Amino acid sequence: MRIIAGQAGRLAIKVPSAVARPTTDFVRQALFSILGERVGNARALDLFAGSGALGLEALSRGATSCVFVDEHRQAAQVITENLTKSRLLGGRVVRADVTAFLRRDAAIYDLIFADPPYLKHAGDHDAIGSLLAGALLRPRLAPDGWFIAEVAAHQPSPTGAGWSLVERREYGGSAILLYAPGSCA
């Protein structure tokens, strides 16, 4: 796995063994092509950060800051190592449950990434659906910001009041969902 482009482009990054399915280089390249100039000078938040690949890519492409949130000790450690190795500035790692973090965070972000574990079995927790349905995520997003989620391609796009699905793109077994504040689509 590597950072695709920007200041730290082509740099190999470490992936914690606790992360079974990091976002592939191909999917990240497609996502950041869609985001384009929105990334420059953006304040980013990487939820369920894992290796930090999404936030690292954002920082490498000109985001001014990125907060990486993951509850796993090994993930937080690996993200810290990846930030040090890449020499990218503006990154901060927070070891916390995503819901607990959003409850106490007061910052506003231009881009919020979320790549939780995919739903594999009936009864698995739908983290994206919960974020969209809850009241914690929306106040953290700038009025013209985007919430970007990755789900399994077979999973329908979650919806929530106050959110509009701008775009859904599928790449193999993954789907990238781009949401903006607004009415449900």
Q: Domains of the chain: which residue ranges?
A: 25-181
pTM of the full predicted structure?
0.93
pLDDT at residue 117 is higher than 60: yes
- Backbone angles phi and psi of 157, in degrees to 5: -75, 120
For the stretch 148-177, pLDDT in tens is 999 999 999 999 999 999 999 999 999 999
Question: CATH says 25-181 is which class?
Answer: alpha beta
Distances from the Cα of 181 to the Cα of 11, 59, 67, 110, 165, angstroms: 34, 23, 21, 11, 9
3-state secondary structure of 89: coil
Q: What is the pLDDT of residues 58-79, one digit of tens each?
A: 999 999 999 999 999 999 999 9
Lowest mean pLDDT segment, chosen from 23-27, 42-46, 103-107, 168-172:
23-27
Answer whether residue 122 shows pLDDT above 60. no
Q: 155 by DSSP, 3-state: which?
A: coil
